[in-house]
Chain A
Amino acid sequence: MALSGMRGLSVFISDIRNCQNKEQERLRVDKELGNIRTRFKNEKGLSPYEKKKYVWKMLYIYMLGYDVDFGHTETVSLISAPKYPEKQVGYIVTSCILNENHDFLRMVINTVRNDIIGRNETFQCLALTMVGNIGGREFAESLAPDVQKLLISSSCRPLVRKKAALCLLRLYRKNPDVVNIEGWSDRMTQLLDERDFGVLTSVMSLFVALVSNNTDAYWNCLPKCVKILERLTRNQDIPQEYTYYGIPSPWLQVKTMRALQYFPAIEDPNIRRSLFEVLQRILMGTDVVKNVNKNNASHAVLFEALALVMHLDAEKEMMSQCENMSRMLLVIDVQDIIKRHQAQIVTSLKDPDISIRRRALDLLYGMCDVSNAKDIVEELLQYLSTAEFAMREELALKAAILAEKFAPDLSWYVDVILQLIDKAGDFVSDDIWYRVVQFVTNNEDLQPYAAAKAREYLDKPALHETMVKVSAYLLGEYSHLLIRRPGCSPKEIFAIINEKLATVSTATIPILLSTFAKILMHSQPADPELQDQIWLIFRKYESYIDVEIQQRAVEYFALSKKGAALMDILAEMPKFPERQSSLLKKAEDTEIDTAEQSAIKIRAQQQTSNALVVTDQPPRPMERRPLAWGNLPFLLFHGPFLFTFECLMQDSASPDHSITPENGVISKSVSEAPASDLLVDLLGPLAIEGPPAPAVSGEQTSFPGLNATPSPVDALALAILSDQSTGVQPIGNIDERFHALCLKDSGVLYEDPYIQIGVKAEWRGHHGRLVLFLGNKNTASLSSVKALILPPAHLKMELSLVPDTIPPRAQVQCPLVVMNLHASRDVGALDLSYKFEATLVNVKLRLPAVLNKFLQPIQMTAEEFFPQWKALAGPPLKLQEVVRGVKPMLLPEMADLFASLRFAVTPGLDVNPNNLVATTSFYSETTHAVLCLVRVETDPTDRTQLRLTPPLLSDRLKELIKDHMVGLPMAPPPQPPSVAVASDDPGAILAGLL
């Protein structure tokens, strides 16, 4: 009899072994595969022994890395064999070759179930093991209760129950919705009383999974875990078989201490005391011994105990309890000890082993403080040019953070960052250079130094683009401080930056253009030659393909013609408000290894140098920044140019005029426009961590005159914003997306790293049909998907069923039917939640089913229009209002805006070319079609008139239009502020005069 009792298999294996090269091996494997294939074809003639042999051969071939694309049926069918040897092979090979998604598995689900509930222990074990390794959803559905029963059954032997525990663990992890674990906290307490160590080891893994999902439910198990640890560390009643080199099951000890680390804190003083005793015993009882295995095992336990001590924040407590605890002292005072070995650690940065290089980097980062920062950062900078690419970005970030945190003086900090950009520009993220600009802006003393440094770097032949950016920015702001130095006249600065212009990418050009504008500003009265050169560049870029650049060129050119006014507009940037370093935040985000968050790191985070307190001014509130920018642009862009609009509506269906005017206050003026908005646009990429785009809530509340009482729209908007606090960051601005969708019918409503929600809508009369497209962007499923519609009082909304899970890379469509009952500006919301792996994401989104969606444009002739218009006199049917602070826009743009609000604009209807007349009808269930007429006059001398039929509607419609006119949240893309408004727009002309 051959070695394994399967001669053919042994022969095949030795053949493979004797192959001289891969080619021979392949030939031999192919021959064997052909052989197996033919044998399987005449299956009838195969004995169970032969089948078993061939299946092993298949596994062997598969293990060697060859594709085995047949014989799966034969393998799986062995599971149904009556005898143990065949069944065993079937089960084991199936779980090696197949995965949970294979259809073949379905064929045996009944056999597996019969084996599990049957009386044969060995069959039970085989079946449980396979399900535990590859069991999918269908197995969970049909087997979970049986497996649970086995686990808690008192008549079952340990060898079955330990497998049942891990089988259940798999089913629960894969399909937490199918496996019912209600009441399991009590069961777990019983299971943790288990005497058999095999069962206990398995149960502990199950317990870790359960407790990591829901700590609160398993508090009652905590004392049991401590008891288990007590028993193990005291070596009480531990079978010899479960001690490993004299240590009671180190694996169970480690697992139990892992489980304990899921509980946030231990309140009960008795349990705490017992646990501390256990930990003390481990800490004090572990010595370095000669036997490697014993040493490793005991240190595995020791390190886990240390992790637990740190988790419990009990370092101090433990220390006072065990006075001679040298090991604990080691952890606390390790920083001083480590410092002595700084040179050694630096050398380790060059170790051939990358894991050591990484640890050395971590260690240097962790041990850095004010005293050694200079040396360490120098080392890191030197290392940067030789480090492998995979480490450079992390290295650059760490160097930047250390330089910032522990800078002995700020000029050193500027030096370091500039060196960093110079040496490893590709690995320096934008955050890093933004940060240095921020520091320089906020510290006047630093400005000449930084500018001079930037100037020096520009002389270097090959310059990284980031260096061009930061130098150009600094010189634009501060080169005038260098004016007496050689090579630093405006002309020379311009010339050297201009050299780079041809070589940089589109992202950098805007910065250079701004720099030129600033140089021009600082050299007023301008040197005509320099001015001509710069103007030439501006003119050249006026027709550049990139809109941002084009716009800047146009604006700067126009502005620079204004002479002295330029000084105000392009004045130096104000100081930045002090905020948490985005770098530190970034580093914290990337800190994955929380388990390793040792005392060193924590201490390092608590120490910061004094140099960090950079601003001598109190932080400025965000709102004040635009004002500091000088008043002129404000006037220029948002001059109080008046325009008037009239709006008239008539109820064509039921001329019911008996409604009392309940909302008679019409003459409000909107006095301030959102200055910050446009400034942000202008600053664009220039803004260093620029002020976040103003939130909707802020914008709305900045118009206190608009609504006497805060409308539900506002309230909802606030609620939505405050709810947006899940850890997942949305991609793009949710508000912008919403407002864009108010003006069009399809687009993206929401997007984050996992999901994208698109909307497509159709509107007819007072009915609407929206389709929500929920797209899973990942290769894993989104689970527990729930969508809830929160409709406002005036809308009826019905959402069709949303599936619970969205498969990977799949998109599901959920139709939503909307019906409008009456006019209101409230907005419905979608409350969506889903789970991706362990993250639960919940967002509340406004749905773009807004008032103007229930409008339908109607074309009217002058003959039809004017009689209707004149028939209505005075409020509430006809409302008028003067609106100030309207966003500058040309008449055609305004016409476009009305068209997207679903009005028909009729040109030529009004004799005055500055006026615009629009007509539409509004639909709701209670009113049917209501004719709405709007007249907008852009003549500054006129006043607004607004006449309306059903007062409720007219008022709302007016507010709606006004919102869009003032251009708050959305509207067409930001208008080119100055130039675009120019010439023919009377409002702009007036603004220019002011």
Chain B
Amino acid sequence: MGIRFVLLVNKQGQTRLAQYYEYLTLEERRALEGEIVRKCLTRTEQQCSFVEHRNYKVVYRRYASLFFLVGVDNEENELAVLEFIHLFVETMDRHFGNVCELDIMFHLEKAHFMLEEMVMNGCVVETSKSNILAPIQLMDKAA
């Protein structure tokens, strides 16, 4: 099934975006997010970007104040996921222009739209930035 969740957390540990591809109850989410944040945010730059947690492998990347954490199962190629995170960031960059935490915070819905175009049911659906952004641009034009 591949990707189980995508989590954006700032360095204070506040969640900025959370998208799960398997159902967890709110309590389970809270617990999981807490554990992962504690685990990943304390790691240094020199440490590996892949961490095993429970039955997930967490692939994470830090951009300025923001951590992108992606939980995957054993079926995934970690390096490919690591670069998929970067593709997501580049896509947001293209749309927002020099994307920062605030952009994602105040445009939560757009971040969701983009992610929805990129991942569906835990599988990669699109990797072309212009295709990913097409629906959003269409909407912006209409508005």
Contact = CB atoms under 8 A, between A and B. Distances in A.
B127 A92 contact: no
Given A5-B143, A60-B108, A198 B125 contact: yes
B19 interface: yes
A353 B43 contact: yes
Contacts of A159: 131, 134
A254 B129 contact: no
A85 B140 CA distance: 10
A299 B15 contact: no
A913 B116 CA distance: 87
A755 B140 CA distance: 55
A196 B34 CA distance: 40
Contact of A356 (B48, B125, B143): B48
B32 to A, nearest CB: 11
A63 B15 CA distance: 7
Contact of A56 (B1, B77, B109): B109
Nearest to B106: A3
A353 to B, nearest CB: 5
A244 B83 contact: yes
Contacts of B15: 63-65
B56 interface: no
A415 interface: no
Contacts of A258: 75, 77
Contacts of A62: 26
A122 B138 CA distance: 10
Contact of B80 (A4, A84, A241, A300): A300
Interface string B69-100: 00000110111101110110000000000000
A593 B77 contact: no
A84 B51 contact: no
Contact of A296 (B21, B83, B108): B83
B38 to A, nearest CB: 13
Contacts of B43: 353
Contacts of A293: 83, 86
A241 B120 contact: no
Given A166-B121, A239-B128, A250-B83, A17 B105 contact: yes
Given A296-B82, A355-B51, A163 B120 contact: yes
B17 interface: yes
A26 to B, nearest CB: 13
Contacts of A252: 127
Contact of A202 (B19, B20, B123): B123
Given A129-B116, A201-B126, A67 B26 contact: yes
Interface range for B: 35 or more
B66 interface: no
B26 A4 contact: no
B131 A198 contact: yes
B126 A198 contact: yes
A63 B17 contact: yes
B99 to A, nearest CB: 13
A56 B110 CA distance: 11
A96 B127 CA distance: 22
A880 to B, nearest CB: 66
A763 interface: no
Interface residues of A, number: 67
B61 to A, nearest CB: 10
A201 B116 contact: no
A383 interface: no
Most buried by A among B52, B86, B123: B123
B131 A85 contact: no
A832 B19 CA distance: 40
Given A4-B107, A297-B80, A249 B75 contact: no
A805 interface: no
A296 B79 CA distance: 6
A4 B103 CA distance: 9
B139 interface: yes
A13 B104 CA distance: 11
Interface in A1-33: 3-5, 10, 13-14, 17
B112 interface: yes
B124 A593 contact: no
Nearest to A65: B30
A99 B23 contact: yes
Contacts of B82: 296, 300
B23 A100 contact: yes
Most buried by A among B21, B29, B79, B108: B79
Contacts of B120: 129, 132-133, 163, 166-167, 202
A197 interface: yes
B36 interface: no
A166 B125 contact: yes
Interface in A160-198: 162-163, 166-167, 169-170, 173, 197-198
Interface of B: 1-2, 14-15, 17-21, 23, 26, 29-30, 33, 43, 47-48, 50-52, 74-75, 77-80, 82-84, 86-87, 105-110, 112-113, 116, 120-121, 123-131, 134-135, 138-139, 142-143
Interface of A: 3-5, 10, 13-14, 17, 56, 59-60, 62-65, 67, 84-85, 88-89, 92, 96, 99-100, 122, 125, 129, 132-134, 159, 162-163, 166-167, 169-170, 173, 197-198, 201-202, 205, 239, 241-242, 244, 249-252, 254-255, 258, 293, 296-297, 299-300, 303-304, 353, 355-356, 358, 592-593, 595
5 contacts: A84-B142, A159-B134, A249-B127, A355-B50, A356-B48
Nearest 3 A-B pairs (CB), nearest first?
A300-B79, A99-B23, A241-B128
Given A85-B143, A133-B121, A595-B74, 6 more contacts: A3-B106, A13-B108, A92-B113, A244-B83, A293-B86, A353-B48
